[in-house]
Amino acid sequence: MQVVFIGVRTQPGTIKPEEEGERHPYSLIDCAAQREAILPYVLFIQKTLRRRPFLIKSLENVMRKFLQSLEFFEENERQKLAIFTALAFSQKLSGLPPETVFQPLLKDNLVAKGIVLSFITEFFKEYLKENSLDDLIALLKKGKMEDNLLEFFPSGKRTSEALSEHFTKEGLTSLVEYNDKKMFEVKLKEIKSTLTTMINEEAEISEVTEVVKQQVKDAKFPDIEVVRMLWDVLMEAVQWSGKNQQQNSNSALRQGNLLQP
């Protein structure tokens, strides 16, 4: 499998041969960094694996080895590997589970240097050319990364703002919108949990209001979402069963005071 990628077999423990020597004239590393040039290699491997399934494990091992060692490849070589990987998933290439790709990328030194972010950005761009965002999210989910996009970013840039800025600049606005929605749902769940706990503990209304206002401000929620969230939580907090009509009314009024400005 290594010959297909770099035109020659490497010695154990190495990624690229120190001395060129005799190389196969056709390899992924030596072709153009374009879909049209790389797709034939994907199709070749696909046909090979159908005839020789025992090579599936070899493909997985080679890919894991290369991805963990991206720093030893030139930038244009990493781009080719990213395009190949995206096309491999698009073509549903056997022997390439999502976790084989995404997990090895999370090496601290690769992430810190921005190599991983560059690779995964190229991967996203190529994959989304012929696949939907839902397909990409399903792929990330299988690789246990759908909630962890920020892990691809260097530690100093792991913010929603940095993520939005980077992927918007790269034309991946659909991914930005997905992440914004995901973050919104997470923050909304946190606020609901805080509000529910304080109500159940019968905290002072003024205290509850202050805490909720601060969390809403930090999360930058639109007013309509705030009202909807408050209504849902307050109605769930009212203990309806086992009370008469007057008790239900009083309980609802007490909780409803939280909706007052």
Q: How far apart, in whole angstroms, are the C-alpha atoms of residue 179 and residue 185?
A: 10
pLDDT for 84 beyond 90: yes
CB 152 within 8 A of CB 120: yes
- Report pLDDT for 14: 52
**Could you state, in order of their start, the residue ranges of all structural domains in the chain?**
2-171, 184-259
Spatial CB neighbours of 158, under 8 Å, sequence gap ≥ 6: 150, 151
Confidence tier at 252 by pLDDT (50, 70, 90):
very low
CB-based contact 122:82 (threshold 8 Å)? yes
pLDDT of 145 over the 60 cut: yes
Q: 209: pLDDT confidence band, cut at 50, 70 and 90?
A: confident
Angle between helices 133-142 and 173-200 (to 10 degrees): 60
Residue 253 banded pLDDT, cuts 50, 70, 90: very low
How far is residue 189's CA from residue 147's CA, in Å, rounded to a whole number? 15
How far apart are the two ends of the chain, measured CA to CA in Å? Answer: 66
Which of the residue ranges 3-17, 31-45, 204-218, 235-249 would you say has the lowest mean pLDDT? 235-249
Alpha helices by DSSP H, the chain: 2-6, 35-51, 56-67, 75-90, 98-102, 108-112, 115-127, 133-142, 160-169, 173-200, 205-219, 223-237, 245-256
What mean pLDDT comes out for the span 48-66? 88
Amino acid 163: pLDDT: 94
Looking at 79-93, 126-140, 200-214, 233-247, which range is the least confident one?
233-247
Output the pLDDT for position 211.
78
For 130, what's the count of Cα atoms within 13 Å in the CB-facing half-sphere? 11
| CA 66 – CA 145 distance, rounded (Å) | 20
Q: Given pLDDT bands bounded at 50, 70 and 90, which one contains residue 181?
A: confident
* Residue 184: predicted pLDDT: 80
- pLDDT at residue 234 is higher than 90: no
Look-up: residue for tokens 């609802």?
A: 252
Does residue 188 have a pLDDT over 60? yes
